[in-house]
Amino acid sequence: MTRTDARRALVFGASGQIGAALLARLAAAGWDVDAVSRAPPSANGPGLRWHAGGFPDVVAPDAHFDAVFSCGPLDAFSLWYADATLRAARVIAFGSTSLETKRAAGDPGERALAATLAASEARVFAAAHASGATATLLRPTLVYGAARDASLSRIAALARRTGVFVLPRDARGLRQPVHVDDLAEAALAAVSAPAAAGQAYALPGGETLPYDAMVRRVLAALPERPRLLRVPSPLFRIALAAAHAGGRLHGLPAGAVARMREDLVFDATPAARDLGYAPREFRPTREMLVAG
């Protein structure tokens, strides 16, 4: 049942780590929500209706939405939105700072990802303009907080399993991990921020710290207290190449180790000015890193 006095939102990627945080914010703010998932939960909540669907075949409910949020794959959303007949005043979509950091990457796959993100953002802005809506693009940095991210939670899982986490000594590139709840708050703030119309914002976390310090804090949050082992960088690279060759290393993209040396730092000033964005410092707890 919809509540006639409530603002109404359509949320894609609602089952994801950012999407789930956004659903909680929308519920707390009294929004009426339609959420889309390829495998929706069987039960709806108060003011929350789940719909089964996935891009490119999503059929949106025939309603007027005050806001549409995209918290899933931006390219798929942008292609769908460009063809959709959707009545929505505001579109808030998550992209990624990879649009900037991977633009000139050595790896062609990473360059292609950056190009796809840029094209997707442009498509969302154009489609919003064509339908009389306004769009805002939000680009998070390294996301954590829901114990299901593919970076810090993965580091925590590996370290808990082995009791140790190994890093090359030069893994000192700067990072700004950002909590899912800060991203959800920014998305909600964007709806009622006139200055955010037609803008894209980097959303870094509230603290900038070297990669090895970030890992140290992750390990310190775990009850097992795994050790951080720092090894000479050439040795690390030889061991990594051997692990790759032996098929013992999966899911570490080409360039990921080299990037540990690089600063990936973004300016939060525009988001602070237009969205009141004030992300927390990086103080991870076990619950933010380990599921269950």
Ligand X SMILES: NC(=O)c1ccc[n+]([C@@H]2O[C@H](COP(=O)([O-])OP(=O)(O)OC[C@H]3O[C@@H](n4cnc5c(N)ncnc54)[C@H](OP(=O)(O)O)[C@@H]3O)[C@@H](O)[C@H]2O)c1
Binding site for ligand X (CB under 6 A): 12-13, 15-19, 37-39, 54-55, 71-74, 76, 94, 96, 140, 142-143, 149
Q: CA-to-CA distance for 73 and 76, rounded, in angstroms?
A: 6
Measured from the CB atom, is 152 or 196 closer to ligand X? 152
Strands (E), 128-237: 134-140, 143-144, 164-168, 174-175, 178-179, 199-203, 209-210, 227-231
Task: Give yes or no for a contact between 177 and 153, defined as CB atoms under 8 angstroms apart.
Answer: no
Cα 263 to the center of its chain, rounded Å: 19
Measured from the CB atom, is 48 or 74 closer to ligand X? 74
Q: How far is the CB of 60 from ligand X (least distance, A)?
A: 12
Q: Which of 123, 120, 140 is nearest to 131 (CA)?
A: 123
Q: How far is the CB of 183 from ligand X (least distance, A)?
A: 8
Which amino acid does the sequence have at 278?
Answer: A
- Name the one residue in this structure whose structure tokens are 């359509």: 10
User: Is 177 exposed, middle or buried (CB count within 10 Å of its CB: 0-12, 13-18, 19+)?
Assistant: buried
Measured from the CB atom, is 70 or 131 closer to ligand X? 70
Measured from the CB atom, is 143 or 209 closer to ligand X? 143
Conformational region of residue 204, where left means phi above 0, alpha means psi within -120 to 50, and beta covers everything else: beta
Give me the residue whose beta carbon is nearest to ligand X.
16
Q: How far is the CB of 95 from ligand X (least distance, A)?
A: 6
Strand-pair category, 209-210 with 174-175: antiparallel
What is the H or E stretch that residue 8 is in?
A: strand 8-12
Cα 282 to the center of its chain, rounded Å: 16
Q: How far is the CB of 246 from ligand X (least distance, A)?
A: 28
Measured from the CB atom, is 47 or 54 closer to ligand X? 54
Q: How far is the CB of 170 from ligand X (least distance, A)?
A: 23
Measured from the CB atom, is 55 or 236 closer to ligand X? 55
Q: CA-to-CA distance for 93 and 140, rounded, in angstroms?
A: 11
Q: How far is the CB of 263 from ligand X (least distance, A)?
A: 17
Measured from the CB atom, is 178 or 221 closer to ligand X? 178
Q: How far is the CB of 232 from ligand X (least distance, A)?
A: 29
